[in-house]
Structure 1
Amino acid sequence: MILDQDGNISIITQEKATIIELVKKIQDVYSKLKHDNIIVNLTSLNKLSVQDIIEFLELSNSHRASKQSFVIVSNSIDINDTPDEIIVVPTLQEAYDIIEMEEMERDLGI
């Protein structure tokens, strides 16, 4: 797992771990990330299933409940097949755009 900071955004890039291992690693360091927006970059994975995305659901729900953004980046899954409760976008730029929109909505109290 590679962890980068960009202002108030933590970008987690998957390297060699399985999805389950990656989720566990994120949970282990979550106390350091809980006040940041989180982008999980899975673009290095050629095959990704809906079940892989669902592994992040609990983490995403709890993070979003604390008024922070949680976005997964993957271009190897049909976004229409993923649960509505989790945000999956095909590019890193779209992840930044989602976070920017959600921050504006939070600022406006929406």
Structure 2
Amino acid sequence: MQRVCGILDVEPAAAIQVKVPNGIGDRMAVVIVRDSDGSWHALGDTCTHANVSLAGGEVAEGTIECWKHGSPFDLATGRPLALPATEPVPVYTITVRGDDVFVDVDSTL
């Protein structure tokens, strides 16, 4: 688990991109999402359809929508819920401790 941001860095119903080193030293793009209900999620930050960041997408009711072509991804499973994306994004273990947000990019759900 690595600290990636503070809880005040992400507003409700918003997302940010962070770069997190994995176990072999590569820096991975991860989108940290705080849903409108206050729940936290960490997913791979690359849309599987258009190879663009999901961090700029709209967050609503358990999904993040790719800003480029509109595919919504389920925050809990990473699965796309509509075309054009057909492949899921990875979902990572995320933990909030106090004011800090931690992610484990070496462990997917």
Both structures adopt the same fold (TM-score exceeding 0.5): no
- TM-score normalised by the chain length of structure 2: 0.28
- TM-score normalised by the chain length of structure 1: 0.28
Higher RCO (C-alpha 8 Å, min separation 6): 2
